[in-house]
Chains A and B, each alone.
Chain A
Amino acid sequence: MRPSRDARRAGFGPIQRSEVHATNVEKRGSRSRPRLSDVLCWTALLILLGMSLLPFAMMLLLSLKTNADIFTRFWGLPQPARWDFYREAAVALRGYLLNTLIVTVVVVPGVLLFSSLAGYALARLHFRGRDEVFALIVALMVVPGILTLIPTYALVQSMGLLNTRWALILPYLAGGQVLGVVLCRTFFASLPDELFEAMRLDGAGDFQIYRYLALPLSLPTLATIAIMSTLGIYNDYIWPLVTISDSNLQTFTVGVTRFAGEFNLDYGPTLAGYVIGSLPLIVLFAIGMRAFVQGVTSGALKA
Chain B
Amino acid sequence: MNPRRTPIVVVALMLAPTLILLALFNYYPAVLGLSRAFTRWEMGEDPRWIGMGNFVAMWHDEFLRLSLRNLFMLLVANVLKTLTMPLLVAELLMSLRSLRWQYILRTAFILPMVVPGMVTMLLWSFIYDGSVGLLNQVLEAAGMGALARSWLGESATALWAIIGIGFPWAGGLALLIYLAGLNQISGDVWDSCQVDGVSGLKRVWYVDLPLLLPQARLLVILTLIGTMQDFGSILILTGGGPGLATHVPALHMYFQAFRFGHYGYAAAIGLTLFIAIFALSLLNLLWGRRLEKLA
Bound form: Cα–Cα A293–B85 in Å: 19
8 Å CB interface, A275-303 against B: 277-278, 281-282, 284-285, 289, 292-293, 296-297, 300-301, 303
CB contact under 8 A between A296 and B113, given known A52-B171, A70-B132, A303-B222: yes
A8, A149, A296: the one within 8 Å of B176 (CB)? A296
Interface range on chain A (Cβ under 8 Å from partner): 35 or more
A264: Cβ under 8 A from any B Cβ: no
8 Å CB interface, A240-277 against B: 242, 252-253, 256-257, 260, 267, 271, 274, 277
Q: Are A75 and B141 in contact (CB under 8 A)?
A: yes
Q: Are B97 and A257 in contact (CB under 8 A)?
A: no
Q: List, sorted by A's number, 16 A–B pairs whose CB atoms are closer than 8 Å.
A: A23-B185, A27-B187, A36-B91, A38-B96, A45-B96, A48-B85, A52-B171, A70-B132, A122-B15, A142-B278, A146-B270, A147-B273, A149-B257, A151-B28, A206-B14, A300-B173
Q: Are A133 and B2 in contact (CB under 8 A)?
A: no
CB contact under 8 A between A235 and B116, given known A10-B189, A297-B173: yes
CB contact under 8 A between A10 and B193, given known A137-B22, A235-B117: yes
CB contact under 8 A between A148 and B29, given known A142-B278, A253-B116: yes
Nearest opposing residue in chain B for A171, CB measure: B25
Determine the chain B residues whose CB is within 8 A of the CB of A289 once the complex forms: 107
Interface residues in chain B, defined as those with a beta carbon under 8 Å from any beta carbon in chain A: 1-6, 8, 10-11, 14-15, 17-19, 21-22, 24-30, 32-34, 36, 85, 88-89, 91-93, 95-99, 102, 105, 107-119, 122-124, 126-127, 132, 134, 137, 141, 167-168, 170-171, 173, 176-177, 180, 183-196, 198-201, 203, 206-207, 210-211, 218, 221-222, 225, 228-229, 231-232, 235-236, 250, 253-254, 257-258, 263, 266-267, 270-271, 273-274, 277-278, 281, 294-295
- Give, as a whole number of angstroms, the nearest-CB distance from A21 to chain B: 8
Determine the chain B residues whose CB is within 8 A of the CB of A125 once the complex forms: 6, 10-11, 14
Bound form: Cα–Cα A175–B119 in Å: 24
Dominant SS among interface residues on chain B: helix
Determine the chain B residues whose CB is within 8 A of the CB of A137 once the complex forms: 18, 22
Dominant SS among interface residues on chain A: helix
Q: Beyond the given A45-B93, A177-B22, A178-B22, could you list 16 further A-B residue pairs with CB under 8 A, ordered by the A residue number? A: A12-B206, A27-B186, A27-B187, A27-B188, A55-B134, A126-B6, A133-B15, A146-B277, A148-B26, A148-B30, A151-B36, A174-B24, A177-B21, A256-B122, A267-B126, A278-B114
Bound form: Cα–Cα A58–B127 in Å: 10
CB contact under 8 A between A59 and B123, given known A7-B193, A44-B92, A235-B117: yes
8 Å CB interface, A157-188 against B: 170-171, 173-175, 177-178, 181
Residue in A146, A237, A256 with the greatest tally of chain B CB atoms within 10 Å? A146
Bound form: Cα–Cα A147–B268 in Å: 9
Nearest opposing residue in chain A for B127, CB measure: A55
Contact bitstring A1-31, B, C-beta under 8 A = 1, else 0: 1101011101110111101111111111110
Bound form: Cα–Cα A274–B126 in Å: 11
